[in-house]
Structure 1
Amino acid sequence: MVDYSKEELAQLIKRFGAYLTVKMSNLFSISLENLDSRSVGALAGLAVAIFFAWRLLRSPSGPQRRQTKWQAPTPSSSGASTHSNENLISSGVYPSSEDSRARNVIDEFFQPVKPTPGQLVRQKLSEGRKVTCQLLGVILQESSPEELQKQATVRSSVLEVLLEITKYCDLYLMERVLDDESEKRVLLALEDAGVFTSSGLVKDKVLFCSTENGRTSFVRQLEPDWHIDMNHDIVSQLARFIKYQLHISSIRPEGTAPNVFCSPSLEQFFE
């Protein structure tokens, strides 16, 4: 194995340190109060990057250097090559492969860590542990009680988020229906989608009422940390009683209370 010369090693460490300083300054610009799992992951990545960089400096790639050492130089090129290398060392300019190896090690470990669906749910819900949620238009494809008299279909795109919420929160689903058959269709659709078997949700936490005011009463009695609904009037009425609400709407209506968030869909809110 061929080692770096002292001058070359010193220059490489200097260049590596400068590059690492930039990375660290970007990392520690995060305030402590905003420190989350991604920041902790970045700190861990920093430690691993330093370790690998240290290993890198100790064990430089050898094939090209061994070839250079053992290959007999021609008389015509020996002096020019030696003079050129001395100029490179004295000026601090080295082959790009040396810098790129250190850069690649750091960049690999400073890549943003994508939060898991469970982490996103906990972050977005601000540690809220009880959630109430309307079914129509949020969990189900249908948007009116009349449609539920014919069919009930769970939206496949919302399933992952729904299951994560049930793992972390005490979730209650509720909807206005026109008859008992609609209730059975909704429960069967949720069961077929695996909502009851893959999470902590049970059928007793799926509530039905005959009026919109009935849903409002359910929410007031349960006193959740979050309520999710499509009805603007219900959201407005509950704004002063519920800590947070998510209004499923493509636009944010004027005069919306500051504790009400808006999103086109439940799953997009957690993206």
Structure 2
Amino acid sequence: MADYSKEDLVQMIKRFGAYLTFKISNLFSISLDNLDSRSVGFLAGLAIAIVFTWRLFRSPSGHQRRQPNRHVPVPSSSGISTHSNADLTSSGVCSSSEDSRAQNVIDEFFQPVKPTLGQIVRQKLSEGRKVTCRLVGVVLEETIPEELQKQATVRFSVLEVLLEITKFCDLYLMERVLDDESEKKVILALEDAGVFTSGGLVKDKVLFCSTENGRTSFVRQLEPDWHIDSNPDIVFQLARFIKYQLHISPIKPERTAANVFSSPSLEQFFGCG
């Protein structure tokens, strides 16, 4: 194959394009029913030409494949030849660098778009619109109501997910407490963590009861799409009444029902842990 320069190839393509434009305009000026053998032959030739041109531009450029043959060893005393070889090498490096940058742009363009946390939350919750969630062992560091008599500590790792849920879900938080002081500590901890500042959750949607059965009653009355709890007994009791449940447990429990999921933490369920 002759060694054409880039300008020669451009001119050749332009002439070929003009010829194709002329022939195509003539071809489509007649009806398909009147196609003769010459027109059919032209269509076949056009298809072959398109495939050939596509393969030509898809393959690495010709001058890069032939470049190694141009690097002929020459005496070091020949300054002109050395300079010429250096230019060829530099040209090859530049071309390779441009190809690499172009490939990087293409890779970035076709790279899968990472979903946002909001999209993940919506997908995981199956577009549920109402969620009830226990505080102890899920939102709070404390694991039993007795610990709330001393302090209430919000798990900051769960805050981002919690606030994202409030953007499109009607969220209710609930917990069993042993006294009024525990209730005040929980509200203050949530307030200090900024849970009420987003506008999606208000204090009236933080519910307290004195027994575990009271929390079960809250959930059944609210009829949420999802209930999140760390008590396996509550999860088991509600499995028949709630569409979906998420059991928060450090040890993966046996799946008691098809509508019950489990995770070590709320944030890990949404891929944030």
Superposition map of 1:84-233 within 5 A: 96-97=96-97, 99-233=99-233
What do the CA deviations read for 1:158-180 (whole angstroms, capped 9, x no partner)? 11111111111000000000011
Evaluate the alpha carbon distance shift between residue 247 and residue 113 of structure 1 in structure 2; reply closer, same or farther with a 3 A threshold.
same
Which structure's relative contact order is higher, taking Cα pairs within 8 Å and 6+ residues apart? 1
**What is residue 4 of structure 1 aligned with on the other side?**
6
Distance across 2 between alignment mates of 1:195 and 1:124: 21
2:256 partner SS: coil
RMSD: 3.4
2:153 partner SS: coil
Distance across 2 between alignment mates of 1:183 and 1:6: 83
Distance across 2 between alignment mates of 1:110 and 1:132: 39
Deviates more, 1:113-122 or 1:187-196: 113-122
What do the CA deviations read for 1:95-150 (whole angstroms, capped 9, x no partner)? 53454243222101122322222111111111001000000010011111111001
Contact 1:250/1:262 (8 A) holds in 2: no
Number of residue pairs the alignment of both structures matches: 206
Distance across 2 between alignment mates of 1:241 and 1:18: 62
Evaluate the alpha carbon distance shift between residue 172 and residue 17 of structure 1 in structure 2; reply closer, same or farther with a 3 A threshold.
farther
2:165 partner SS: helix
Evaluate the alpha carbon distance shift between residue 76 and residue 207 of structure 1 in structure 2; reply closer, same or farther with a 3 A threshold.
closer
Deviation at 1:240, TM superposition (A): 1.4
Distance across 2 between alignment mates of 1:193 and 1:96: 53
Deviates more, 1:244-253 or 1:145-154: 244-253
Deviation at 1:263, TM superposition (A): 0.7
Evaluate the alpha carbon distance shift between residue 153 and residue 75 of structure 1 in structure 2; reply closer, same or farther with a 3 A threshold.
closer
- Return the TM-score normalized by structure 1: 0.67
**What is residue 35 of structure 1 aligned with on the other side?**
none
Contact 2:226/2:242 (8 A) holds in 1: yes
Distance across 1 between alignment mates of 2:244 and 2:260: 6
Contact 1:216/1:234 (8 A) holds in 2: yes
Distance across 2 between alignment mates of 1:158 and 1:173: 13
2:196 partner SS: coil
For structure 1, the 5+ residue unaligned runs are 20-73, 89-93
Contact 2:152/2:186 (8 A) holds in 1: yes
Evaluate the alpha carbon distance shift between residue 181 and residue 146 of structure 1 in structure 2; reply closer, same or farther with a 3 A threshold.
same
Distance across 1 between alignment mates of 2:8 and 2:128: 58
Contact 1:16/1:102 (8 A) holds in 2: no
Evaluate the alpha carbon distance shift between residue 103 and residue 134 of structure 1 in structure 2; reply closer, same or farther with a 3 A threshold.
same
Percent identity between the two aligned chains = 76
- Return the TM-score normalized by structure 2: 0.66
Contact 2:252/2:264 (8 A) holds in 1: no
Distance across 1 between alignment mates of 2:124 and 2:59: 37
Contact 1:153/1:189 (8 A) holds in 2: yes
Contact 1:248/1:266 (8 A) holds in 2: yes
Deviation at 1:203, TM superposition (A): 0.8
Distance across 2 between alignment mates of 1:265 and 1:255: 16
Contact 2:149/2:181 (8 A) holds in 1: yes
2:262 partner SS: strand
Counterpart amino acid of 2:140?
L
2:220 partner SS: helix
Distance across 2 between alignment mates of 1:180 and 1:109: 57
Distance across 1 between alignment mates of 2:251 and 2:57: 49
What do the CA deviations read for 1:8-51 (whole angstroms, capped 9, x no partner)? 898996477589xxxxxxxxxxxxxxxxxxxxxxxxxxxxxxxx
2:6 partner SS: coil
1:195 partner SS: coil
